[in-house]
Amino acid sequence: MATPDIIFYTAKVCPYAQRVEIAFQEAKADVTRYPIDLLNKPEWYAPRVNPASKVPAVVYGSTKSDPENPSPESARVTESLVLLEFVADLYPDSGLLPKDPVERARARFFIDAVSTKVFPPFIAFSFRGESPDAFIAAVAEIQELLPPAAQFAVGDHFTIADAALAPFLGRWELLLRNDLGKFEEGTGPRVYKELFQSERFARLQKYYASISSRESFKNSFDPEYLVAMAKKRLGRQ
Ligand SMILES: N[C@@H](CCC(=O)N[C@@H](CS)C(=O)NCC(=O)O)C(=O)O
């Protein structure tokens, strides 16, 4: 039987797509990447690939497909967290999901905490200029979930829990350091110092050093491009 092919619709700017890119690279998966320009999406994308018209999306099929006109028999899989599980299921030997049920539950709990606790206060702070306090408190809660000595979120092996958080940690570090956000000037570097340089967040900083030094992260994170895009969206001038 032919190996099913995987078409991955992605965009370098998108942290959700980077989650999936990291997982594919960690799994050493052979995928066809198709970049989508989010400012000028092809008219076939929603009807043929993802009705929600978002990246990331994957078409998974049994025949070599044309990315612009994938076979209707191929499966469409969307939503970054669903895709992380999908990649882990396709590549069980990658260790992206541990074999042990308790560790699997820990990975999923970590992902749930990231999604429910940190994103809302980050958006309030960064896109609406509200106080950073709730965001900093939420990051402290995430830090508490990190094992004291292990390298990654659920031990010494990189899992989907790390892939889920890494793109966001990377963007927080970059955007805060460059003072990019809809907050008062100078607030970004102040919060940056707290999260990425203070003793209080030493555990988080060590964790960030572990994930940001992974090849899968470095290959999928382009700081200059992200700063340029963020300046257009969040710049003060
Ligand atoms: N919940 C989705 C969010 C994906 C998402 O919001 N993607 C954005 C880019 S980061 C997108 O494609 N937006 C559509 C657009 O910009 O038109 C996921 O986790 O995959």
- Cβ atoms of 160 and 107 within 8 Å: the answer is yes
Atom number in ligand 1 closest to CA 15: 10
In terms of domains, do 186 and 202 share one? yes
- Domain with residue 121: its CATH number is 1.20.1050.10
Which pLDDT does position 3 carry in this prediction? 63
- Domain with residue 35: its CATH number is 3.40.30.10
In terms of domains, do 135 and 197 share one? yes
In terms of domains, do 140 and 207 share one? yes
Number of structural domains, the chain? Answer: 2
Total residues belonging to the chain? 237
Which pLDDT does position 1 carry in this prediction? 47
Query: 55, 71, 94: which is the final residue of a domain?
Result: 94
Atom number in ligand 1 closest to CA 52: 14
Instruction: State in Å: Cα 55 to ligand 1 middle.
Output: 5
In terms of domains, do 228 and 138 share one? yes
In terms of domains, do 61 and 113 share one? no
Is the distance from the beta carbon of residue 80 to the nearest atom of ligand 1 less than 6 Å? Answer: yes
Query: 61, 94, 127: which is the final residue of a domain?
Result: 94
Which pLDDT does position 62 carry in this prediction? 67
Which pLDDT does position 101 carry in this prediction? 97
For residues 169 and 139, what is the distance between their CA atoms, to the nearest angstrom? 10
Nearest to 212 by CA among 18, 82, 56: 18
For residues 119 and 113, what is the distance between their CA atoms, to the nearest angstrom? 10
Nearest to 219 by CA among 27, 77, 25: 25
Select from 16, 22, 45 the residue to mutate for testing ligand 1; criterion: most ligand atoms less than 8 Å from CB: 16
Which pLDDT does position 141 carry in this prediction? 98
Q: Which H or E run contains 87?
A: helix 80-90
In terms of domains, do 46 and 67 share one? yes
In terms of domains, do 29 and 108 share one? no
- Cβ atoms of 135 and 122 within 8 Å: the answer is yes
In terms of domains, do 89 and 107 share one? no
In terms of domains, do 111 and 225 share one? yes
How many CB atoms neighbour CB 190 within 10 A? 13
Which pLDDT does position 162 carry in this prediction? 98
What are the pLDDT tens digits along the chain (237 aa)?
Answer: 456 799 999 999 999 999 999 999 999 999 999 999 999 999 999 999 999 999 999 999 866 778 999 998 899 999 999 999 999 999 999 999 999 999 999 999 999 999 999 999 999 999 999 999 999 999 999 999 999 999 999 999 999 999 999 999 999 999 999 999 999 999 999 999 999 999 999 999 999 999 999 999 999 999 999 999 999 988 766
Q: Which residues pair with 58 in a beta bridge?
A: 8, 77
Instruction: State in Å: Cα 11 to ligand 1 middle.
Output: 10
In terms of domains, do 49 and 112 share one? no
In terms of domains, do 197 and 118 share one? yes
Q: Which domain holds residue 49?
A: 5-94
Query: 45, 76, 94: which is the final residue of a domain?
Result: 94
Which pLDDT does position 202 carry in this prediction? 98
Is the distance from the beta carbon of residue 50 to the nearest atom of ligand 1 less than 6 Å? Answer: no
In terms of domains, do 142 and 88 share one? no
Is the distance from the beta carbon of residue 56 to the nearest atom of ligand 1 less than 6 Å? Answer: yes
Instruction: State in Å: Cα 200 to ligand 1 middle.
Output: 33
